[in-house]
Amino acid sequence: MVTLEQVAARAGVSPSTVSRILNGTATVSELKRAAVDEAIRTLGFRPNPVARGLAGGRTMSIGVVTQRISSPFYGEALSGIEVELESAGYVPLFVSGNWNEADERKAIETLLSRRVDGVIVLAGRLDNRELEALSDSVPMVVVGRQVAGERLFSFSFDNRAGARLATEHLISLGHRRIALLLGDLIHDDAIDRQNGYFDALAAAGIPVEQELIVQSDYTEAGGMLSVSRLMERDVAFSAIFSSNDQMAYGAILGLARRNLRVPDDVSIVGFDDLIMSRYTMPPLSTVRHSVYETGAQAAGAMLSLLRGERPTVQLAAPELVLRESVRRAIR
């Protein structure tokens, strides 16, 4: 392994000069800088970002607590985080909280033991007060919840407005018996999306029918099971608003297994606009929530905290993406 000292010897400068040039803090002649650059190229020297970070009191790593790494939703968010952090020279360390308070606490403790420079938490179940206390030891960004602290920044998407937009579109097509597939109401976004559905029904003068609401878990299997529950209740519905795309995928399969076609027999709208929603059969109408951009904004907010700045985020407003999974209700 080529060392800093070897580069310095070949370039005819001190090791501290090479270090300052690599860190961008040196004021040296162009001749010396060119000599160092040439020595690096010739010897094949690769700077060690961890060593450089430790010299500056940082590890150049950011811990990221997702809930399920295997989830396509969190996968898009993690990609956005990774690209944004790497552009600033940081490495993300991903761990799963599994929607379990104990697992999430253990994940954060593991990241702190590795001396990460900051922690990004995607949703999760830890109490706000616990997150606030943890932010005393490390800067934190929390996505999908509202919690505040001196070194803690949080933001969320306008889930309520997005859900209202989806439900209003189904109503505009003449649907009045609209089933709702909910996520776990322990999550703020599930509550907001339910309230958006309620808002749209109230504005149209349509009463809420509890038998049309099924609480599930944001997974494909949960969407398929929700359709089974609706069928067991023997309730009529002509449309479904699914609180996320993954449940919509399962719901489409569940309907197909009962010889019900989308959208000929049942219209369906999802939420998130995951990449796969363009390729389902039929392609899924959904509320666009740029999950990748949310991840990138979370990483950007963390970089701001590390610079001692108060972060700002600019998420796009909810947008309805119309594809082939909806049609006008048959009278």
Average pLDDT (188-217) is: 96
Per residue in 108-166, pLDDT (tens digit) is 999 999 899 999 999 888 888 999 999 998 999 999 888 888 889 999 999 999 999 99
159-288: what CATH class?
alpha beta
Residue 231, amino acid: M
Residue 173, amino acid: L
Q: Where are the beta strands (DSSP E) in 130-210?
A: 140-143, 152-155, 178-182
Four-way CATH pick for 61-157+291-315: 3.40.50.2300, 1.10.1040.50, 3.40.50.920, 1.10.357.10: 3.40.50.2300
| CATH number assigned to the domain covering 4-47 | 1.10.260.40
What's the CA gap between 213 and 240, in Å, rounded?
10
Which tokens hold the place of 89? 């020279």
What's the CA gap between 5 and 225, in Å, rounded?
64
Structure confidence at residue 73 (pLDDT): 86
Q: Which residues contact 58 (CB under 8 A, 6 or more apart)?
A: 117
Q: What are the phi and psi torsion angles at 167 (to 5°)?
A: -70, -40
Average pLDDT (305-329) is: 93
- The residue among 223 and 89 whose pLDDT is bigger is 223
SS3 of 222, please? Answer: helix
Structural domain boundaries in the chain: 4-47, 61-157+291-315, 159-288
Structure confidence at residue 49 (pLDDT): 60
DSSP result, 19-63:
HHHHHT-----HHHHHHHHHHHHHHT----HHHHHHHTT---EEE
Structure confidence at residue 199 (pLDDT): 98
Asked if pLDDT for residue 3 goes beyond 60, the answer is yes
Q: What percent of the chain has pLDDT over 90?
A: 67
Average pLDDT (73-91) is: 91
Are 260 and 253 within 8 A, CB to CB?
A: no
What's the CA gap between 35 and 37, in Å, rounded?
5
Residue 125, amino acid: R
Asked if pLDDT for residue 258 goes beyond 60, the answer is yes
Which of these, 86, 21, 79, 81, lies nearest to 60 by C-alpha position?
86
Cβ atoms < 10 Å from Cβ of 47: 14
SS3 of 302, please? Answer: helix
Asked if pLDDT for residue 224 goes beyond 80, the answer is yes
Structure confidence at residue 54 (pLDDT): 53
Domain 61-157+291-315 and domain 159-288, same fold? Reply is: yes
Which residues on neighbouring strands pair with residue 143, listed in sequence order?
A: 122, 155
CA distances from 37 to 33, 253, 278, 329 (A): 6, 59, 47, 69
Which of these, 76, 71, 110, 106, lies nearest to 93 by C-alpha position?
110
CA distances from 194 to 210, 212, 237, 270 (A): 12, 12, 17, 13
Q: What is the DSSP letter of 93?
A: E
Structure confidence at residue 46 (pLDDT): 78
Which of these, 142, 169, 167, lies nearest to 156 by C-alpha position?
142
Mean pLDDT of the chain: 91
Structure confidence at residue 188 (pLDDT): 86
Estimate the crossing angle of helix 245-256 against helix 220-233, to 10 degrees: 50
Q: What is the DSSP letter of 321?
A: E
Helix, strand, coil percent values for the chain (each to nearest 5) = 45, 15, 40
Ranking 77-81, 102-106, 263-267, 313-317 by mean pLDDT, the lowest is 313-317
Structure confidence at residue 244 (pLDDT): 96
